[in-house]
Amino acid sequence: MLVLTRKSGEKLRIGNNIIITILNHSYGQIKMGIEAPPEIPIYREEIYNRIREKNQASVLVDAPNPNLLKRLFKGMK
């Protein structure tokens, strides 16, 4: 892992279009600003992992039963 030291207000550039600004730090927390092209998704790692697990667990193993889907849809109204 590349480790760099930065002061508050200083920036990091990743590639030619991602800029990370260290805004401030206090009580063990670091606040940063990220400027990146809108199509680049930015996630907190632990939340990304939760979504990844959830997505994988949602893969269909059987074709959903149309009657079950009808009942599900009724429940939404």
**Which residues make up the interface to other proteins (CB under 8 A)?**
37-41, 43-44, 47-60, 62-64, 66, 68-69, 71-77
Please state the closest distance from residue 28 (CB atom) to other proteins, in A.
Answer: 21
* Residues 34, 45: Cα–Cα separation, whole Å: 15
State the pairing for strand pair 18-26/11-14: antiparallel
Minimum CB distance to other proteins smaller for 2 or for 57:
57
Minimum CB distance to other proteins smaller for 10 or for 51:
51
Structure tokens at 66: 């149309």
* Residues 45, 66: Cα–Cα separation, whole Å: 36
Please state the closest distance from residue 13 (CB atom) to other proteins, in A.
Answer: 20
